[in-house]
Amino acid sequence: MRVDPMEGATALPVAEPRAWGRLRDRRLPVIPLGIITMFVLVAVLAPLISPADPEEQSLRHRFRPPVWDERGSWQHPLGTDRLGRDMLSRIFYGSRVSLTAGVVTVLLASAFGAAVGLVAGYYGGRMDAVLMRLTDATMSFPVILLALILAVTVGPSFANVVVAIAVILWARYARVIRGQVLTLMELDFIAQARIAGAGAWRVISRHLLPNTLNTLVVLVTLQIGYVIIVEASLSFLGAGIPPPTPAWGSMIAEGREFVTSAWWVSFFPGLAILLVVLAFNLLGDWLRDTLDPKLRQL
């Protein structure tokens, strides 16, 4: 007599093939990778492919709509802004700011954070306790506030944005890596290395670090999107990249008052942000599912 086992529950511990097998099974996330590649190329080649100088103003050409509107033209495919500057070029150049900010910040934060996590996990005890207190205190501090202070005291700049974000962001890495290290420390091969006389540096760099790389890669990818959004928010508020450098966030701010009449000024930079961040997030999700599904919480 047939019964549908779809009723009833509990999971069967089905043996999963190893990660590499899985990598081959899973199709590459073509679309996210494509989008990211496209933006990277755009950022690198911006001077070559921009139809105009992003900072060139032209009061005659103010508020031109995009090319598909009847008043638009191919000279300015995505229209122009309040000062007659070409939107497409500004978006191209804006990608430089966003991508650089994202990558640099994340690299700094992850390097520092991973170091803290490795040390805390390896030494344990007092050092671990102290470092983790520090980490927790840092982690729940709103990034924007720090950036605001820096913007007002030292003045807004690219470096400020990177510093403000990195100073808070590292804590996330520290926490996660430390957790991984704690698990790794239980494993036999670490004990063996230490019995064989390996010192702290050797154990950390040769044994612990390579095993945390998976996690690091996933976390880094997922965080780039977050940093880009934060940078854009800061630029939007005026506490980020200062004008006249084109930054997507400040472009949106500039177009805010004219949303009804010249919607494209705010719309396209926002769309760009959405695409890039979405691509990084999807890529990060795919990496996580492939490399280490246990990181589901990230």
Partner 1 sequence: MTSPASARPPVIEVRDLRTHLVTRWGTVKAVDGVSFAVREGETLGLVGESGSGKSMTCLSIVRLTPRSVSGLLEGTVRLEGDDLLTKSEREMQRIRGRKVAMILQDPMSSLNPVFSIGMQMREPVAAYHGLRGAALRRRAAELLASVRIPSPEARLRAFPHQLSGGMRQRVVGAMAIAAPPRLLIADEPTTSLDLTIQAQYLGLLKELQERHHFAMIFVTHNLGIVAKMCERVAVMYAGRIVEMGPVREIFTSPRHPYTQALLESVPRLGAKLDRLTAIEGQPPDLARLPAGCAFAARCPRVMDRCAEAPPELAVAPGHTSRCWLQAPA
Partner 2 sequence: MIRFVLSRVLQSLVALAILSVVVFVLARATGDPLHLILPMSASEEDYAYARRYLGLDRPYVEQYFSFVGKAVMGDFGTSLRARRPVSELIRERLPNSLRLALFAMCVSLSFAFPLGVLAAVKKGTWIDRTAQVIAVLGQSLPTFWVAIVLVEFVAGRLQWLPAGGIAGFASHILPGFTVGWVVLAGMMRLLRSGMLEVLDSEYVKLARVKGVVERRVVWLHALKNALIPVVTFAGIYFAILVTTAIVVETVFAWPGLGRLAYEGISSRDFPVIQAVVLTTAVIVAVVNLGVDLLYAVIDPRIRHAR
User: In angstroms, rounded to a whole number, what is the distance separating the alpha carbons of residues 128 and 147?
Assistant: 28
Q: Which residue of 252, 262, 283, 287 would you call a contact of partner 2, by CB under 8 A?
A: 252
- Window 9 to 28, contacts with partner 1 (CB under 8 A): 9-12, 14, 17
256 binds partner 2 (CB under 8 A): yes
Give the interface size with partner 2 as a residue count (CB under 8 A): 51
User: Closest separation between CB of residue 21 and partner 1, Å?
Assistant: 10
Least Cβ distance, residue 188 to partner 2 (angstroms): 25
3 interacts with partner 1 by CB under 8 A: yes
Nearer to partner 2, 77 or 270 (CB): 270
DSSP 17-43: PPHHHHHHHSPP-HHHHHHHHHHHHHH
Question: Measured from the CB of residue 1, what is the shortest distance to partner 1 in angstroms?
Answer: 6
Phi first, then psi, for residue 86 (nearest 5°) are -70, 125
* 260 counts as binding partner 1 under rule CB under 8 A: no
Of 101 and 229, the one with the shorter C-beta distance to partner 2 is 229
Long-range contacts of 231-234 (CB under 8 A, 24+ apart): 231/97, 231/98, 231/101, 231/102, 231/105, 231/161, 231/165, 232/98, 232/273, 233/144, 234/144, 234/147, 234/151, 234/161, 234/164
Kindly state the number of chain residues that form the binding site for partner 1, as judged by CB under 8 A. Answer: 14
Applying CB under 8 A, which part among 7-15, 35-43, 110-118, 189-197 lies near partner 1? 7-15
